[in-house]
């Protein structure tokens, strides 16, 4: 389908994007366009104004920031995959990015767009939640930092205010892994599982097990109490709300989560 009519402006800076968003309450940012344009074509989304930030190359970077790694919000999935610093210090980000969609999606889609879109089946949100990442947003009142645990507020909803632009994502250096079960090549996760060692504690996150990315807190607590990976993984579906849809039943997802969590923990 063809999207509803909209105006288009290309922002030359983050501050200009913030100002342009202020022009209209139905304005929306456009980054890689790989989530927004499909939803506009289906008319699920009808922004009156698109503020294109896709060419703000100063938001495309991966750099060391003391004990953390800072990732610009416009860094594309393909760049996350080949970045040497991420490979060395936080390999699960590139591992998860490599499992996103197909090469076209990975070369246009951005980490900021992915987490701002907030699809519960998306992979990078789970990684950021598992790592206790921080998300930096700039708006008319300046900059603020949002912990990942407070960012994802519902399906396709997040803590950003209308005029705020996500500019940077900060993650700790951490060993970890991401496993994703798909029915077909290039598919979205039927279930995805992230496991990482953060500050000496094993943290576990789940994709497609509820309305937002989720932490498997019961698994984490069991591990902290000395449970084996297999025993801890039995708690993978505790406090989750896995959906039933055309891909899988809720029960099947709960079972998959247990299997994948065990495998992920054994890999750590």
Ligand X SMILES: Cc1cc2nc3c(=O)[nH]c(=O)nc-3n(C[C@H](O)[C@H](O)[C@H](O)COP(=O)(O)OP(=O)(O)OC[C@H]3O[C@@H](n4cnc5c(N)ncnc54)[C@H](O)[C@@H]3O)c2cc1C
Residues of this chain that bind ligand X (CB under 6 A): 28-36, 38, 73, 100-101, 105, 108-110, 112-114, 116-117, 122-124, 160, 165-166, 188
Nearest distance in Å: CB 70, ligand X: 14
Sheet harboring 201-207: ordered strands across? 175-181, 191-198, 201-207, 214-215
- H-helix segments, 118-249: 123-130, 148-151, 217-224, 229-233
Distance CA 19, CA 86 (A): 33
Exposed/middle/buried for residue 42 (C-beta within 10 Å: 0-12, 13-18, 19+) = exposed
Nearer to ligand X, 47 or 242 (CB): 47
Nearer to ligand X, 18 or 222 (CB): 18
Nearest distance in Å: CB 6, ligand X: 12
Nearest distance in Å: CB 225, ligand X: 32
Instruction: Name the phi and psi angles at 94, rounded to 5.
Output: -65, -35
Nearer to ligand X, 33 or 172 (CB): 33
Kindly state the tokens that stand for 93: 């980000």
Nearer to ligand X, 234 or 243 (CB): 243
What b/e sequence results for 233-254 when a residue is b if at least 16 CB atoms lie within 10 Å of its CB, and e otherwise?
A: bbbbbeebebbeeebbeeeebb
Q: Is 156 helix (H, G, I), strand (E, B) or coil?
A: coil
Helix 217-224 vs helix 250-267: angle between axes, to the nearest 10 degrees?
Answer: 40
Nearest distance in Å: CB 3, ligand X: 12
Nearest distance in Å: CB 116, ligand X: 3
Is 160 in contact with 166 (CB distance < 8 Å)? yes
Nearest distance in Å: CB 4, ligand X: 15
Nearer to ligand X, 109 or 176 (CB): 109
Nearer to ligand X, 182 or 198 (CB): 182
Torsion of CA 177, 99, 91, 62, to 10 degrees: -140
Nearer to ligand X, 188 or 222 (CB): 188
Nearest distance in Å: CB 28, ligand X: 4
Q: Is 175 helix (H, G, I), strand (E, B) or coil?
A: strand
């Amino acid at each position: 389908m063809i999207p509803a009519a909209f105006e288009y402006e290309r922002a030359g800076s983050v501050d200009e994007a913030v100002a342009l968003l202020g022009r209209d309450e139905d304005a929306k940012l456009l980054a890689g366009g790989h989530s927004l344009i499909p939803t506009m074509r289906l008319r699920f989304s009808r922004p009156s104004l698109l503020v294109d930030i896709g060419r703000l190359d100063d938001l495309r970077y991966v750099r060391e920031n003391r004990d953390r790694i800072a990732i610009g919000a416009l860094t594309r999935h393909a760049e996350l995959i080949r970045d040497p610093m991420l490979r060395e210090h936080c390999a699960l980000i590139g591992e998860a990015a490599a499992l996103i969609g197909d090469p076209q999606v990975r070369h246009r889609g951005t980490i900021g767009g992915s987490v701002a879109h907030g699809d519960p089946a998306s992979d990078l949100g789970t990684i950021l939640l598992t790592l206790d990442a921080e998300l930096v947003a700039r708006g008319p009142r300046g900059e603020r930092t949002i912990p990942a645990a407070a960012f994802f507020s519902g399906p396709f909803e997040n803590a950003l205010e209308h005029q705020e632009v996500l500019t940077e994502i900060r993650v700790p250096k951490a060993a970890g892994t991401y496993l994703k079960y798909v029915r077909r090549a290039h598919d979205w996760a039927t279930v995805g599982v992230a496991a990482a060692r953060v500050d000496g504690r094993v943290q576990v996150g789940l994709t497609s097990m509820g309305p937002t990315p989720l932490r498997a807190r019961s698994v984490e607590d069991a591990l902290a109490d000395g449970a084996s990976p297999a025993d801890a993984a039995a708690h993978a579906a505790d406090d989750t709300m896995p959906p039933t849809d055309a891909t899988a039943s809720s029960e099947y997802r709960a079972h998959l989560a247990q299997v994948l969590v065990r495998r992920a923990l054994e890999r750590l």
